[in-house]
Copies of this chain bind each other. A is one copy, B any other.
Amino acid sequence: MPRPIALLTDFGLADIYVGVMKGVLLAHCSKAVVIDLTHAVPPGDIVAGAFQLHGAAPYLPEDTVFLAVVDPGVGGKRKPVCARAGGRYLVGPDNGLLWPAATRLGEPEFFHLDRPEFWLPHPSSTFHGRDLFAPVAAALAEGTPPELLGTPHPDPVTLTLPIPRLAGNRLLGEVLWIDRYGNAITNLRPMDLAQRWDDPACAVFSMGGEELGTPHTHYAAVLPGAVLVLAGSSGYYEIAVRDGSAANRLSLSRGSLVAVHAGS
């Protein structure tokens, strides 16, 4: 049985790009099991794609091949790469997209995909997802080792998701993602607070000078319509509104600042 293949792209679902890529996967690995993580990464937004891939990766089977394409530099100087990390493989452009997930999964080894005999013949310069990355991911799923598909690439492009910083007696984080419900996922984790205060549960969150209170564990801990801070399922604190949208209520967007200070 081949390794499962998990897809993340900025292709959207209105065009045929995802379907065509799946067709190539299946043509090269007829028993491929393909999972869509998301195809709604904002066009060209490498940081958003890296954040989403990093969040999803640990929940996929331990032998997964991740095929991720957010690739505004396709056809130019950026290299096509794959990484081996923690038993998984990650395939995509060398622009930082794979880095946070790869380093979360293990100590990654990168390979420059420079063996055209594993690609579609006559590859285009604008759709490496179809012509290069899909046949390579299918080969990895079938058991071909990355050593055959490319050569070691010791200096991949790295990308670090924004991390919290100290400002006086406050910890300053930011919103990394707004989800479908309007929950604002921050870059603050319980461990970030625990490094500074004895009891993270007493830490007080605020945005734009307005206090949002201390963290709760679930939405129904507050009344419908109330704003709350939540230790979210992603491992990060989230700003939410019970039965509503925090993003709409508080006019939040990616990059909005969140402060935390000690409770009294």
Contact = CB atoms under 8 A, between A and B. Distances in A.
A189 interface: no
16 contacts: A6-B23, A13-B40, A14-B180, A15-B177, A16-B37, A20-B37, A22-B35, A27-B59, A27-B62, A72-B220, A72-B243, A73-B219, A75-B220, A124-B233, A125-B217, A125-B218
A220 B19 contact: no
Say what secondary structure dominates the interface of chain A: loop
Interface string A48-88: 00001001100111101000000011111100000000000
A35 B29 CA distance: 14
Interface stretch (A126-134, A142-150, A163-171, A191-199): A126-134
A24 B57 CA distance: 11
A74 B218 contact: yes
Contacts of A217: 75, 125-126
A128 B148 CA distance: 41
Contact of A35 (B26, B75, B124, B177): B26
Contacts of A77: 220
Interface residues of A, number: 66
A221 interface: yes
Number of copies: 3
A167 to B, nearest CB: 29
A40 B60 CA distance: 23
A225 interface: no
A152 interface: no
Contact of A37 (B19, B43, B124): B19
A208 to B, nearest CB: 24
A55 B16 CA distance: 8
A30 interface: yes
A206 interface: no
Contacts of A37: 16, 19-20
A73 B220 CA distance: 6
A218 B27 contact: no
B27 A39 contact: no
A69 to B, nearest CB: 12
A44 interface: yes
Contact of A23 (B39, B44, B60, B130): B60
A230 interface: yes
